[in-house]
Structure 1
């Protein structure tokens, strides 16, 4: 598929929209018939540029920022290394990580080999007015923002702990995985050494985003898993690696000549913008849904089917291209 293809499809979709939309059961995206009580199912397709290798295989010389670089080097070299608390590559059995090193493709992961217990300081923030304290009792609050005088480690701690304080008041949520035990845990030794909030004479109050908080520091016990990084050679050629990724990530495969002309035009429309119909669907839409393994949506009462979500994402292959496929139910005719 050349780079001009999307433009041609958009032109075709625009030119045909008026005439086709008037035909019964064809390509109208919105139904004006208020008597149609069936759910509307919308389909959108987003083309994946390049190969799956380009998207999922990493270069060891430029790994993702959150990966543990030392763990990657040790795993590829077959050297002993462990990391505590978190997985070195954030890989899961159903979402592995891959890297190419000296012509060989490796699947990266980790195994738990031990457990350790450590005590870390935990920063919690409480709004000064809500707990009856006064920020003016003996000292001025310290600016906990990026423009303040606190070390960078404390600025990060205040930023994360304020989410927990805000959520505690019912104002908003907080980032799971960053907030721990209702605040911020200083796990890194470098952060503890740099911190001013952890000093015995550290500030009792900080301000952040126009709110004054009382600082509370508690030292608490944590139990951490010890992970050993792994690197398993899985392929020696780009073609084999692409095949592995395709088997792991790609669902239905549809050849262009397998679809009718009407179903093919729906594909073009779904890639150009979004396509939708209300139930009962046209023959062309039903044909396409069967081809992309979405038969369960042909049921007009799909909301009551076990395991069916109102928004569904999957990767498919259409012709020689990969697409992210999104299906969502946006209206079922109920008041």
Structure 2
């Protein structure tokens, strides 16, 4: 009897130890994960993010985009934050979709530094990105939601994967749907998440194919002429313009109005008009108060559950910086 009890206890200990090595799964995420581990964690994230957005609202847009770009490549594991090293000179952040357009890294650095003072080695960088995007949504769009935490940080970051996986601004609707479906996200969630194009900015190179040699017929011709002045053909410097010229610092329904009036920047934006279902959803967001915000919040929570860590590749909680593995 004693030997059976001993074996049972040994198995429990082994199972517990093995569980510590497993990548975080959707089932292990929960709201308020840090309440008993680092009580002030979420308030530290919120206050730090607020201090940056007050000075530069564009950084809030960057944080929301960072969350998207992180979760789509290897799941939400903060792989997008890793700096190049001699062993890995081309991480995700240097990939064409991220460099030089992705911003907000200094915000993550500041949040991590404050958390390390309060509770070193406890809060993952992946959770910092998720919470920062949530708070940016609140400050820029008054969109409030609770997002589960408990993610672990990955140890792998490959530039080529970001280029291959992230949806391009030139995608048509079928390509967008396939890209989001591969991450477990529906077409409706894709349309809701596209609303993030109501904030932030874009480099001219992301849409000049719609301006030259002729203005794309799927774009408002007057708007195209206006963009040509801001983004001259063969310019020596890749210019930057707001994604939404009407309310560039507000995460709101204006984006969908821009889509309907053919004054959105990307071909992928226009593609939302090419099916009855997506067109109806766009129209709903322009007419029904609160519909977009509710759907955007739910889609952000859903996206935060993307987990693609492979067995045998355990995660970690990086410290003291999010820019390097332990």
Same fold (TM > 0.5): no
- State the structure with more CA Rg: 1
Question: Which category describes the TM-score, using the shorter chain as reference length?
Answer: under 0.3
Larger fraction in strand = 1
State the TM-score, normalizing by the size of structure 1: 0.21
The higher relative CO (CA closer than 8 Å, separation ≥ 6) is in 1
State the TM-score, normalizing by the size of structure 2: 0.22
Larger fraction in helix = 2
